[in-house]
Amino acid sequence: MQAFNPYMPSWEYVPDGEPHVFGDRVYVYGSHDRFNGYVFCMGDYVCYSAPVDNLADWRYEGVIYGRTDDPLNSSGFACLYAPDVTQGPDGRYYLYYVLDKFGCVSVAVCDEPAGRYQFYGYVHDSQGRKLGDREGDEPQFDPGVLTEGDVTYMYTGFAGFDDKSRHGSMMTVLDKDMLTILEEPVYVVPSRPYAQGSGFEGHEFFEASSIRKFGDTYYFVYSSIVMHELCYATSKHPGKDFVFGGVIVSNADMHIDTYKPANKPMYYGANNHGGLEKIGDDYYIFYHRHTNGTVFSRQGMAEKVQILPDGSIPQVEMTSCGLNGGPLKGEGYYPAYIACNLFHDKESLYGGGAGGNHFWADSALPRITQDGRDGDEEQGFIMNMEESATCGFKYFDFQGVKEIGIEIRGYCHGRIQVKTAWDGPVLAEIPLESYNIWHEFRTPVAIPDGVHALYFTYRGPGAASLKGFTLYC
């Protein structure tokens, strides 16, 4: 069994992933988008888990908390934004979250990591006043939590581009009851208006606070003001002295200059959220990508990272094989939805109107989608493969590939070019015909042995949909 990106089924939309190892399994907690959703986070909280020694074997744990389980949301008019989970001093598991219509932090509790959580209460001060509701409080948003001994460190916050009313990410210390404030919020990473001289300039705090501790170092992961990137900062103390470290991952592969120019987007980026986790002997960053030409249908992704001896984390590429432990086998069938690169000659990082239903300026640009409705277990595919549209898959270990087949449908009279680099030589061309059902077109190809990427570029009139491809040895 091999592990792909996205690591959940192609019909599942769980962004904002926070991975945690409890026992011999890794659990991912996130918000829950819908296919063809019209706002963020429309669903109940669900959980997926996998054995720590087999990150290809993900199991659906079911709904762990419903959007109407919070007393403030019995009518369901608010959405469950990005959560996090920590194991408390009593051994139970605590789910922290914020509803989109409120500025306070809610908490639910469960005896098991992926059981059915029950509402527990709201984070409050010693007088019972909710954090976020008191005079002078900044609204709480997307909590990240870390428990050490009898205390829990909670990191929250949201800060728009030039909003001087928001100062950045704040850390609050909670008592062993997991609700009561022991130490009032302090700001740990600045927002843009307050970043001058801080070292965070250009990568100021936007949202998505996430916290881990490896050895004696706290790693704070967050989404910067440019949205598509997850950055990190480190400190020896949970509430002060955080130093900017760099970018860990971009969901447009920006800044990466190993296989393309650093400023060339290789996927259609937008907001990002995720967390670091050590699984076995390795470290991984979990994040999300956007699908269906909208910001409201996001899917979980993950990449292996290195923490160097000096504590730094080099930026990693988006790949199709993030949890696989190495390249995919260069033979057999692969679904098109595992594309990690997707772009067009009309370059677009954010596209047009990221706040609307569709963030791509041109609806004809390629996008990953699916048939059916939300919840239908329909394999994802790439639509709108029109002139110059390119999808890329990284990486494969090719050995003796002699032929390639692509599964296509749509009104198309062009051809698919096969390459091992986005700007590399064409190794084969596959002529296409119009089909209203999925149909495989095959051609001989000479792919060099070794580890390479695989790119398909459409040339000609019409537009094709791509469901998958087969490598024949």
| 347 counts as catalytic | no
CA–CA separation, 375 and 381 (whole Å): 16
Phi, psi of 352 (to 5 degrees): -100, 120
Q: Which two tokens stand for residue 120?
A: 């527990």
Alpha-carbon distance of 431 to 417, in angstroms, equals 9
Catalytic residue list contains 433: no
12, 207, 303, 407: the catalytic one is 207
| Interatomic CA distance for residues 122 and 106, integer angstroms | 5
Strand partners, 288: 300
Cα 400 off chain centre by = 34
Pairing of strands 328-329, 390-398: parallel
Yes or no: say if 159 and 207 are a contact pair by the CB < 8 Å rule: yes
Strand residue runs (E) in 56-180: 59-65, 84-87, 93-97, 106-110, 118-122, 144-148, 151-156, 168-174
Q: Output DSSP code: residue 462.
A: B
- Alpha carbon distance 18, 114 (integer Å): 13
* Catalytic hit among 16, 69, 84, 407: 16
DSSP conformation letters of 268-299:
--------EEEETTEEEEEEEEE-TTSSS-EE
Structure-block tokens of residue 1? 């069994």
Q: Which residues form the catalytic set?
A: 16, 207
